[in-house]
Amino acid sequence: MMDLNLPVEKLKNVGARNLPRLHKLGIKTLRDLLWHLPARYEDYSKIIPIADLIFEQKATIQGTVVKIDSRRIFPRRLVIIEAIIEDDSGSIKAVWFNQPYIATTLTEGTRVSLAGTVKLDKRGLYLASPSYEKLRSDDYLAYHLTHTHGLIPVYPETEGISSKYLRFLIKPILTELDIADHLSEESRTRNGLIGLTTALQKIHYPLTLTEADQAKERLAFDDLLLFQIKALLERRKINQLKSQSIPFDKELVTDFIKRLPFELTKDQKMAAWEILKDLEKPYPMNRLMEGDVGSGKTVVALIAAIQVAQSRLPAGRQGYQTVFMAPTEVLAHQHMETIRKLVAHTNIEIGLLTSSTTWTTYSLGRKTEIKRRIANGDTKIIIGTHALIQKDVTFNNLALVVIDEQHRFGVAQRAALVKNKELVPHLLSMTATPIPRTLALTIYGDLDISIIKEKPKNRQKIITRIVPPSGRQEAHQFIRSEVKAGRQVFVICPRIEVSVTGDPTSAPGPGTSPGGPPASGSPSTTGSKAKSPETSTNPRTKAGQQMKFLLADMKAVQEEYKKLSELVFPDLKVAMLHGRMKPKEKTDIMARFKEGFADILVSTSVIEVGVDIPNATVMMIENADHFGLAQLHQFRGRIGRGEHQSTCLLFTSGASSSQVLPGKISEDKKTSNQRLKALVATDDGFLLAEKDMAIRGPGEFFGTGQSGLPDLAMAALANVELIKKSRAEARLILTTDQNLTNHPELKQQLLRFQSIIHFE
């Protein structure tokens, strides 16, 4: 049996020179090599009679070398090899450059298989630098050639490591592959999967594309299975920890709900019930609440916080604490505002704690005083920014942590917030990014999920329009008329190219952002793009990147601001907001915009998440085709929060000549149009997320680096059946074999997998 952990340098054909190059491709062991999967296949499956070859055709021919010569051309030091190949139908020339050894390998009379492109010169058709391999007499017309016949794998390559070399390494191993399959025969049959050995053979050398697909399905299943097992184990671990059990007090909760100034939607009630049930358990809740912008998540979390605040402590004193963590100051303020109003009739003390403001509903005192009220347990609901709370606050009987727009908050992070380390606070994390169900089941398999789909009844439907460059005038008139009617307008512009150190590298534009669910924080509010795998390892790059984004933000906004305030709307009040401002500045501007000090607010994506300005009725997005669908939907969610009809205007590129957009994001026009049309067609965030994923593919949608999912598994996220099967299989395996003692191969892979992906 082969040892998959065998270092590649132990393989026959790996020399000292190639070893570092293989390492660069991530290939260190035999396993890595076998799992270095083709990116695509070159189709050389048909052998074409030479007489039938046509210009520009990619073809495989098989025949005999009847003549071969090498010529040297001075002064260019070029060696040209020319061979004449003949089959039953005719003959053709093959030409290679600077590979003199070919003349000694393919001597006259040798039978060869050649694959390449048919070219034309003065003297007729010829094959330009074809791949070649000798045919032994017994496999003339055989299918199992390595380079020239059949579906030939093309691999991710690196300097010095060509697909040809990889084929040369991998092919011989495949023919004598001898490895164990960690899935039993029974389980393979149950899930309709082919064996591991076959899968590896067929993914590298399929006879047909259908075979390649079957192989991919099997290997993707393996990755998904590990992900699911990992999630289930994570859950099991969490269920063994202790939390304060908060009994559900029906009377208290119904009374609170009755006093709300609106009726809860069915989905809100359902989510609240799920959360209250979780709180009763003596182990930590680990729940993600997904709901579109404006779906009313805060009040649901608040219901839980009320229950927590009014439940009895063992000592007889009332109430446990809840902390709400927001990614930005603006959002922390907004939570404070929403919550304060909704609990006005109770005597529950609420505190706000950000770097610019601290107060509680019982004290406007200094920061130290507020912190003391929190530490002695007077303040029951504490609202603040992630950063501040994690480093600065001592709680008193903290039982629930509510987090906005950060999906993962580890058990260790939670435990760090409490003095009594035996009790881990319950976690409710909230996100306005709808995550397609299959993705959620896979990537957040360790979380329970509550989904709020239904919008509150009083919500207006937002009109969404795509504005072509010719419609700009009219759109400006429309904006003017809205302002005249007393409404306010958001203008969003994407980043523009900016150079920080005089180096003209462009900052990635928003179009390159996944626009999908952020793994932590929000990409646009925290600049967490800098967390992408290639930059996070280097703090200097990270800081540099972040700086560049912020500068790019500022520049875009400043230009748009100038244009709008001086040229387009000189008679209106225009304000601006960008990523380089201090949190306090941003909060102030948002607060003043809300009070109506400006008609138009020009901003980058910093206003993306959660800000509530009911009087704003127009969302105008510049270069809308450069944003992801999910992100556009988020922007649109900023409006339509009040009683007035709201409109979202999507300006398409080319419309604004003042902006230079980074070249690399100029993606397929059709795709971006598809996105904008989808946005016009529906306001259902979940539907849009599914569409976004379908249009861009799961990898692009989520970003492979963020999920930790290997490419194959990522691609398989479109396959709901496969995901369900992998989940069921994971359950089955763990119920019969708790510690994977009988699945040593799985156990080992799990450890490997865990060291690659970091969950928290």
Which among 57, 28, 60, 36 is positioned nearest to 163, based on CA atoms? 36
| Contact partners, residue 550, CB within 8 Å, separation at least 6 | 527, 578, 579, 580
- For residue 262, the minimal CB distance to ligand ADP (Å) is 3
Contact 113, 87 (CB under 8 A): no
**Position among 110, 338, 460, 615 found at the interface with ligand ADP (CB under 6 A):** 338
Site for ligand ADP contains 296 (CB under 6 A): yes
Residue in 621, 719, 720 with CA at minimum distance from that of residue 679: 621
- In the list 511, 610, 685, 703, the residue contacting Mg ion (rule: CB under 5 A) is 610
Contact partner at residue 293 from Mg ion, ligand ADP, none, CB < 5 to 8 Å by partner kind: ligand ADP
Scanning 126-179, the segments in alpha helix (DSSP H) are: 163-175
CB of 430 to Mg ion, least distance (A): 7
Q: Does 291 bind ligand ADP (CB under 6 A)?
A: yes
Residue number of the CB closest to ligand ADP reads 296
Per the CB < 8 A criterion, the answer to whether 226 and 211 are in contact is no
491 and 560 in contact (C-beta within 8 Å)? yes
Q: Is residue 525 within the footprint of ligand ADP (CB under 6 A)?
A: no
**DSSP letter assigned to residue 47:** B
Q: How far is CA 350 from CA 37, 307, 362, 363, 375, in A?
A: 55, 14, 8, 10, 13
Choose from ligand ADP, Mg ion, none: what does 121 bind? Cβ within 5-8 Å by kind.
none
State the binding partner of 393 from ligand ADP, Mg ion, none, CB within 5 to 8 A by kind. Answer: none
Q: How crowded is residue 71: how many other Cβ atoms within 10 Å of its Cβ?
A: 9
CB of 340 to Mg ion, least distance (A): 15
Q: Which of 294, 434, 514, 523 binds ligand ADP (CB under 6 A)?
A: 294
Q: Which is nearer to ligand ADP, 335 or 426 (CB)?
A: 335
Instruction: Give the range of 259-267, 464-472, 600-608, 686-694 binding ligand ADP by CB under 6 A.
Output: 259-267
Q: Looking at 566-574, 609-617, 656-664, 686-694, which segment touches Mg ion (CB under 5 A)?
A: 609-617
Residue 298 sits in the site that holds ligand ADP (CB under 6 A): yes
Write b or e for each residue in 305-324: b if 16 or more Cβ atoms lie within 10 A of its Cβ, otherwise e.
bbbbbbbeeeeeeebbbbbb
Minimum distance between the CB of residue 596 and ligand ADP, rounded to whole angstroms?
18
Neighbours of 481 (CB within 10 A): 11
Out of Mg ion, ligand ADP, none, which partner does residue 456 contact, by CB within 5 to 8 A per kind? ligand ADP
- The interface with ligand ADP within residues 191-210 (CB under 6 A) comprises none
Applying CB under 6 A, does 299 fall inside the site for ligand ADP? Answer: yes
Contact pick of 135, 432, 489, 613 for ligand ADP (by CB under 6 A): 432
- Tell me which residue has tokens 């790019």: 552
- Closest Cα to residue 630, out of 701, 528, 704? 701
SS3 content of the chain, % helix, strand, coil (to 5): 45, 20, 40
Tokens at residue 704, please? 């492979």
CB of 609 to Mg ion, least distance (A): 7
Query: What Cα–Cα distance (Å) separates residue 305 from each residue in 272, 288, 374, 675?
Result: 11, 16, 15, 38
Is the bond preceding 75 in cis, omega lying within 30 degrees of 0?
yes
Q: Which stretch binds ligand ADP (CB under 6 A): 29-37, 70-78, 287-295, 696-704?
A: 287-295
For residue 158, report the phi and psi dihedrals to the nearest 5 degrees.
-145, 170
Name the closest residue to Mg ion (Cβ).
Answer: 610
- Shortest distance, CB of residue 288 to ligand ADP, whole angstroms? 13
The site partner of 295 among ligand ADP, Mg ion, none (C-beta below 5 to 8 Å per kind) is ligand ADP
Pick between residue 30 and residue 336 the one whose CB is nearest to ligand ADP: 336
Q: Give dist(CA 225, CA 193) in Å, integer.
A: 13
Size of the residue set binding Mg ion (CB under 5 A): 1
Which stretch, 549-557, 563-571, 608-616, 721-729, contacts Mg ion (CB under 5 A)? 608-616
Kindly identify the residues of this chain, within the stretch 599-638, that bind ligand ADP according to CB under 6 A: 610, 612
Nearer to Mg ion, 430 or 695 (CB): 430
User: Distance between CA 153 and CA 136 in Å, rounded?
Assistant: 22
Nearest by Cα to 85 from 54, 122, 46, 125:
125
User: Cβ of residue 344: shortest distance to ligand ADP, in angstroms?
Assistant: 13
Residue 480: partners with Cβ closer than 8 Å, 6 or more residues away: 569, 572
CB closer to ligand ADP, 158 vs 338 = 338
Residue 431 interacting partner from Mg ion, ligand ADP, none (CB closer than 5 to 8 Å by kind): none
Cβ–Cβ < 8 Å for 452, 631: no
Q: Is 458 in the site for ligand ADP (CB under 6 A)?
A: yes
Under rule CB under 6 A, residue 265 binds ligand ADP: yes
Q: Which stretch binds Mg ion (CB under 5 A): 261-269, 447-455, 610-618, 698-706?
A: 610-618
Pairing of strands 58-73, 78-86: antiparallel
Binds 294: which of ligand ADP, Mg ion, none (CB < 5-8 Å by kind): ligand ADP
Q: Which residues bind Mg ion (CB under 5 A)?
A: 610
Q: Which residues bind ligand ADP (CB under 6 A)?
A: 262-265, 268, 291, 293-299, 338, 432, 456, 458, 610, 612
